[in-house]
Structure 1
Amino acid sequence: MYKTITKTGLAIAISAAVSLPTHAVSDSQKQQLNNAVVKTSQSQEEKLKEFHAYVNAYLDEYEQWRDEYTNKLDERRTDLIKTWGEGEVSSQTKQVDYSQNDQVKTAVDYESNTATVSVLVDEDSSPEEIEALVRKVPVEVEGKTVDLANLTAEDHVVLYSLDKEQEEKNFVIEQTQSQMNELDVQAERLIQSDTGIPDSFIYQRAHNKKLALLTKAQERIAAQTKLYSEMRAKHGISIEQPEVIDKKVQEVASTESTPAKVSPTVVEKVVNVVPKAQVVKKKPATEAVSTSTKPKKVVSYKVKLPENSLKSRASKYTPLAEKESKNWEIDAALIMAIMHSESAFRPDAKSHVPAFGLMQVVPTSAGHDVNKQVRNIDAPMKASDLYQPVINVETGTAYLDILNSKYLRKIENDQSRLYCMIAAYNTGAGNVARAFNKDRSTSIGKASKVINQMTPEQVYNQLVAKLPYDETKNYLKKVSSRIALYK
């Protein structure tokens, strides 16, 4: 790949130089030719170093959008925490919308098939005032208008509690783990693509990116601590809390010996205290920090979605799953079970990795893999394309085929390969291999020899016990159990 780039650059420079009279050659053209000539005299070590820099810059360009997304999400969640005491936002299985200048929140949880409509009001609002307010609030759930006045209300004061603070920190931890997982998938994709880049370079790059994510997580968690402390001070709230020992993520990460062994659980150690008890006290008015903001409380209404909501959404995409099943020889029930688990059959679903659409495809890993191996396009996919059901399901199913027929092809038993394929869809074939290799290597060829000596049940149990990410363990359980629903 490097030689192609070098020859192309040299050809362009020479072509530009000889196609014009000598006196017409510009200084920039001369410089371009000189640079090309210099490159031909570079040592192999210099060429490799330059090629690695090129690959690194190429990947950095496509990772920048992830960091920008994370920063914008943090900004949004900070605004919500200031208002609501928590930063609840949409995920792949939950849709959270705000209206009325962020005073009304509608959260539809497709896993529990319920919706919660919450209204932010002054703490001293009377029941009559609240009833009058909610009658003026138009709320739609799943396309139907909901009359809140006919529902039973629950309320709680916005107290900026330790529990809520910990939930927000857990959000950062879980998102960081998912993004670390995706770096593993990306690294595995590069290795399997046989680009000529040394495995050591790919692993080292993934290692460095993980450390950067961990450092950023430490900063984000520290920001959460500061924000909640400021909001408690602003509203005159004092909390008796246990002493928290905060470990620096760099110190924890430094215990990892090699790039290939960066632990996905390291980030959990950044905040390792979940308060078991707390006492929340409102300070007397004379002690409270003066503010023009009145204390608020949240009034919430639970709405049960129709029992057939999931089935109705699923029925829309059954023909699409069956079509792609025939195209790629992948079980339609597996495709449906993945859509169920990944997005609850919502084509506009978006996770915090971020991943997109019905089968939650990440543009720079699975999306890039399918583009290159199936469509002959060496570039990541566009998020806008992945929101289109036809493209998304084709891409997700094609990726399952790549896993099944290429990456995991040495696994002989169909059921064992199915379990590994489900796990690999979430975490990559390399991490599946780590669950079976005693040295925790990512060689799936080596792991296949171990897997082929085991029963499918043993393979499943080994994956649940040894996969490096809890997210993937839970994913394997959910998808495997849901396949039977669509047989």
Structure 2
Amino acid sequence: MALKRMLSLALVICASSASSAAYEVQNDFADFKKKYQSKHKEYTDDYTQHYEAYKKELIEKWGVAELSSDTEYVTYSDDKSVKIIANFENDTIEVSIQRDAQGRITADDEKVMVRDAIIEALNVAPKMAAKQNIEFAFTPAKTPQTTLSSKIKKPAKKISLKQDTLLAHLGIEDGKELKAVLSMVEEVPAEKQQAIVVARTEKRLLQQIAQVDQFIEREELPLKQIKRAQGQVAELNSQLNELSQKQDTVTKKNIKSYKIQLKRDRFNKAEKYLSQVAMQANQWQVDQEVLLAIMETESHFNPMAKSHIPAYGLMQIVPSTAGADVNKKIFSINKNPTPELLFNGTKNIEYGSAYFNILMSRYLKEVENPTSRMYCAIAAYNTGIGNLARAFNNGERGRMKAINKINKMTPEQVFEVIKTKTHTETQRYLIKVVNSKNYFAEHI
């Protein structure tokens, strides 16, 4: 009996000690989490201030702040007097130079400046480009400084290109190809360029507003994120109104602009990613042409793609929705992937492929017709399962309720519902992806 009492007492003491240790660990974790959240908020606020100051400086210098998007990578020289835009959708490289910032320079000098700007801005790996561009400063660190110079340099005897650069992603793999591209530089008349800048700024703002508006409709978003997105829409609308009211004065008159049309076809743009896509398609049981079609529609194969939602990389992964879903359901990680991770092309394709697999094999697994399931997964990739379900339920929620209706329809009828009952952006998205899928199916 005495032995039993001693054992019981020991067990109580052990349980009490374990409970106390667990409590201490829990408190330690709570303190760590509180400090982490505080530090993250401090950094986020600091980044926002830097970003807004950067935009203000660009507006003062250029009249409008042209920034990177899902299809464009935009960067500036250290003194903001040279602007470089790589447009992956239109397959162009554009260099604009503010003449007043340069003093007196000759036409030959400007050609050298165009060459140097392209090499310095685009002869870098995407990861390094993100470190050098304040738009992509997503983690606490020193404020990034661009390496682009506005000073005129002597022509190099030999142009040497690095590996896996933005130039390579634009189809320019070696010095010979770069030399050929530089021979195609054409000057854009000032008035024409001013009209182009105004038109594309308006288009960019309208597209961003549509994307964020649609994102707000997702039922799975936390209220805090919805409010933040609503604030973004208000700010974008304000910028759009200002652009409309001051179209004649929003751009500077003292700019020389040059443009190169790269002239690649659609398949050339995709070629760099074919082996990665084939591997991920096999891993996640997704058709290669579907993955390529999503990449083309989302970013036009721009490794630096970044939208206001925010979404990142080739397949435009939103960390808090698709990214979180993949981490939780596939990798058993209870946090969102970082933007830095999603700017890694291989990882981005992996996340996009895995997320499409989740849509097909989990959220939509009860959809019987494989073509109908594919249409639904494409739409859900863009707008979320909740919004997709509402399209079939006359605005009401209910995944299985929607799936039961889908199973009574032909694939053509399912396509028509998505094309007419979802958000305008999703309607366009489905059509683009399906057309792109058909294109790549013929070319792979």
TM-score (norm 1): 0.62
What does residue range 5-404 of structure 1 map to in structure 2 within 5 Å?
15=17, 72-99=50-77, 101-122=79-100, 129=105, 131-137=107-113, 138-140=116-118, 142=167, 144=178, 147=182, 151-156=186-191, 164=198, 171=204, 174-179=207-212, 181-182=214-215, 184-185=217-218, 187-188=219-220, 205-206=222-223, 209-215=225-231, 217-218=233-234, 221-222=237-238, 296-308=253-265, 310-404=266-360
What one-letter code is carried by the residue in structure 1 that aligns with 2:436? R
What is the alpha-carbon distance in structure 2 between the residues aligned to residue 64 and residue 415 of structure 1? 47
Unaligned runs of 5+ in 1: 1-10, 20-27, 33-57, 189-201, 229-273, 283-294
Look up the SS of the partner of 1:381 in the other structure.
coil
Residue 406 of structure 1: which of 362, 369, 394 is its match?
Answer: 362
What is the alpha-carbon distance in structure 2 between the residues aligned to residue 220 and residue 280 of structure 1? 20
Aligned residue number for residue 433 of structure 1: 389
Residue 446 of structure 1: which of 390, 398, 401 is its match?
Answer: 401
Look up the SS of the partner of 1:435 in the other structure.
helix
What is the alpha-carbon distance in structure 2 between the residues aligned to residue 92 and residue 349 of structure 1? 4
Unaligned runs of 5+ in 2: 1-12, 28-35, 123-166, 173-177
Cα displacement (A) at 1:431:
0.7
What is the alpha-carbon distance in structure 1 between the residues aligned to residue 410 and residue 37 of structure 2? 39
Aligned residue number for residue 410 of structure 2: 455
What is the alpha-carbon distance in structure 1 between the residues aligned to residue 418 and residue 336 of structure 2? 29
What one-letter code is carried by the residue in structure 1 that aligns with 2:438? A
What is the alpha-carbon distance in structure 2 between the residues aligned to residue 114 and residue 360 of structure 1? 21
1:121, 1:130 within 8 Å by CA — same for their partners in 2? no
What is the alpha-carbon distance in structure 2 between the residues aligned to residue 460 and residue 66 of structure 1? 41
1:333, 1:483 within 8 Å by CA — same for their partners in 2? yes
Look up the SS of the partner of 1:139 in the other structure.
helix
Q: For each residue in 1:259-303, what CA deviation from the matched residue of structure 2 results, as whole angstroms up to 9, or x when unmatched?
A: xxxxxxxxxxxxxxx67xx89599xxxxxxxxxxxx742222221
Aligned residue number for residue 422 of structure 2: 467
Look up the SS of the partner of 1:365 in the other structure.
helix
Cα displacement (A) at 1:106:
1.8
Aligned residue number for residue 292 of structure 1: none
What is the alpha-carbon distance in structure 2 between the residues aligned to residue 97 and residue 281 of structure 1? 22
> Is 2:439 the counterpart of 1:485?
yes
Structure 1 residues 419 and 412, CA gap change in structure 2 (3 angstroms): same
TM-score (norm 2): 0.67
What one-letter code is carried by the residue in structure 2 that aligns with 1:420? C
Structure 1 residues 417 and 119, CA gap change in structure 2 (3 angstroms): same
1:357, 1:388 within 8 Å by CA — same for their partners in 2? yes
Structure 1 residues 402 and 15, CA gap change in structure 2 (3 angstroms): same
Q: For each residue in 1:379-409, what CA deviation from the matched residue of structure 2 results, as whole angstroms up to 9, or x when unmatched?
A: 1112222222332222211111111111112
2:286, 2:357 within 8 Å by CA — same for their partners in 1? yes
Q: For each residue in 1:21-58, what CA deviation from the matched residue of structure 2 results, as whole angstroms up to 9, or x when unmatched?
A: xxxxxxx98xx8xxxxxxxxxxxxxxxxxxxxxxxxx9
What is the alpha-carbon distance in structure 1 between the residues aligned to residue 43 and residue 405 of structure 2? 39
1:359, 1:392 within 8 Å by CA — same for their partners in 2? yes
What is the alpha-carbon distance in structure 1 between the residues aligned to residue 39 and residue 429 of structure 2? 30
Identity between Structure 1 and Structure 2 (%): 32
What is the alpha-carbon distance in structure 2 between the residues aligned to residue 449 and residue 218 of structure 1? 38
What is the alpha-carbon distance in structure 1 between the residues aligned to residue 267 and residue 86 of structure 2? 16
What one-letter code is carried by the residue in structure 1 that aligns with 2:98? L
Cα displacement (A) at 1:366:
0.9
What is the alpha-carbon distance in structure 2 between the residues aligned to residue 168 and residue 64 of structure 1? 31
Cα displacement (A) at 1:464:
2.1
Structure 1 residues 148 and 315, CA gap change in structure 2 (3 angstroms): closer
What one-letter code is carried by the residue in structure 2 that aligns with 1:178? Q
What one-letter code is carried by the residue in structure 2 that aligns with 1:302? K
Look up the SS of the partner of 2:312 in the other structure.
coil
What is the alpha-carbon distance in structure 2 between the residues aligned to residue 60 and residue 404 of structure 1? 38
Residue 378 of structure 2: which of 409, 418, 422 is its match?
Answer: 422
